[in-house]
């Protein structure tokens, strides 16, 4: 019953078109057949600014598009300014009718797939969390390396999917599918779990590569900086708990100091923690 209600709500949401939608598609048209990164922004302009600045430095062979799922109107204005500063295409999503974090994120991803990806028809596309920061040179187009999709594995005893914060797809492999990025708690899967019957169940998990994910300590010895984070593929630093929770705020000073060091080009040292 819950899934029926969620699908009905999402069905309405994906039909809504925000201001600037036609202009956005026109401007993004140059990316048809190219590699694109899709960033769902939510309430934190500073995190997005860090991502976009480091993407300009480290991300190659692809372009980012930002979709704003924020509820705060003033924050939306600030996020749009951040995108202008870094010459990144920005689109405010329709006002999301749900406050549930998993549902809101999943509905935003589904909206993007059905209204932008299927129209744009890129070579490949990657969903990137707004607090997932590239810390070394990363070839966006090389993420798949011959696979139909790639990302961090999200598995339960009954099914599996890819973590919504970092998942990449070969567009021809999913063209024509009705991808649904809502969660499916009935089979133990978080955001994106509803894609199990549409996509993932068709593949042998043992024959696929998945992104590594580990807890690590990020240090900048010359500036006396040290903090624990999650690191994806030794290329992406994940802040975590940004947007849907205020828990990250107690570490705000640490984030800002690490961001400043990375802006200045000071190497970040990554060491695995137990």
Percent of the chain exceeding pLDDT 70 equals: 94
Choose between 151 and 137: higher pLDDT. Answer: 151
Place of tokens 């048209």: 29
Query: Containing domain of residue 258, as a range?
Result: 213-272
Give the confidence band of 146 by pLDDT, cuts at 50, 70, 90: very high
* Tokens standing for residue 156: 């339960």
Is a pLDDT exceeding 80 seen at residue 272? no
Output the pTM of the full model: 0.92
Asked if residue 78 and residue 59 are part of one domain, the reply reads yes
Measure CA 236 to chain center. Answer: 12
Asked if residue 200 and residue 223 are part of one domain, the reply reads no
Give the confidence band of 158 by pLDDT, cuts at 50, 70, 90: very high
Q: Report the residue count for the chain.
A: 274
Asked if residue 232 and residue 121 are part of one domain, the reply reads no
Asked if residue 172 and residue 252 are part of one domain, the reply reads no
Widest pairwise Cα distance in the chain: 56
Long-range CB contacts (< 8 A, 24+ apart) of 248-252?
251/227
Asked if residue 218 and residue 183 are part of one domain, the reply reads no
Residue 1 has a pLDDT of 60
Helix axis angle for 2-13 and 101-112, nearest 10°, is: 50
Give the confidence band of 247 by pLDDT, cuts at 50, 70, 90: low
CATH of the domain at 168: 3.90.550
Which sign, positive or negative, has the C-alpha torsion 5, 10, 11, 15? positive
Cβ-based neighbour number of residue 274 at 10 Å: 3
Is a pLDDT exceeding 70 seen at residue 242? no
Residue 188 has a pLDDT of 93
Is a pLDDT exceeding 90 seen at residue 180? yes
Residue 201 has a pLDDT of 97
Asked if residue 199 and residue 227 are part of one domain, the reply reads no
**Number of folded domains in the chain?**
2
Asked if residue 194 and residue 59 are part of one domain, the reply reads yes
Asked if residue 232 and residue 183 are part of one domain, the reply reads no
Is a pLDDT exceeding 90 seen at residue 18? yes
User: Which of 178, 207, 236 finishes a domain?
Assistant: 207
E-only strand ranges, 175-274: 213-220, 225-232, 236-238, 269-272
Residue 220 has a pLDDT of 81
Asked if residue 224 and residue 162 are part of one domain, the reply reads no
Task: Give the whole-angstrom CA distance, residue 237 versus residue 241.
Answer: 13
Asked if residue 28 and residue 164 are part of one domain, the reply reads yes
In the predicted model, what is the mean pLDDT of the chain? 90
């Amino acid at each position: 019953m819950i899934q029926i209600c969620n699908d009905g709500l999402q069905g309405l949401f994906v039909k809504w078109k925000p201001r600037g939608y036609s202009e956005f598609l026109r401007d993004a048209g140059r990316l048809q057949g190219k590699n694109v990164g899709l960033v769902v922004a939510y309430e934190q302009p500073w995190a997005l600014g860090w991502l976009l600045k480091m993407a300009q430095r480290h991300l190659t062979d692809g372009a980012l598009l930002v979709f704003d799922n924020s509820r705060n109107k003033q924050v939306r204005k600030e996020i749009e300014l951040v995108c202008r500063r870094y010459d990144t295409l920005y689109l405010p999503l329709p006002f999301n009718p749900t406050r549930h974090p998993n549902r809101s994120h999943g509905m935003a991803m589904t909206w993007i797939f059905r209204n932008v990806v299927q129209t744009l028809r890129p070579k490949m596309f990657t969903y990137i969390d707004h607090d997932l920061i590239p810390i070394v040179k990363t070839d966006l187009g090389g993420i798949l390396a011959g696979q139909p999709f790639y990302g961090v594995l999200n598995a339960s005893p009954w099914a599996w999917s890819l973590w919504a914060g970092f998942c990449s797809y070969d567009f021809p492999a999913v063209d024509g599918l009705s991808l649904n990025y809502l969660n499916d708690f009935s089979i133990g899967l978080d955001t994106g779990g509803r894609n199990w019957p549409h996509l993932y169940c068709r593949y042998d998990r043992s024959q696929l590569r998945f992104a590594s994910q580990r807890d690590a300590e990020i240090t900048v010895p010359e500036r006396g900086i040290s903090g624990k984070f999650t690191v994806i593929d030794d290329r992406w630093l994940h802040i975590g708990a940004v947007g849907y929770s205020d828990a990250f705020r107690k570490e705000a000073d640490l984030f800002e100091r690490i961001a400043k060091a990375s802006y200045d080009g000071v190497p970040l040292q990554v060491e695995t923690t137990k």
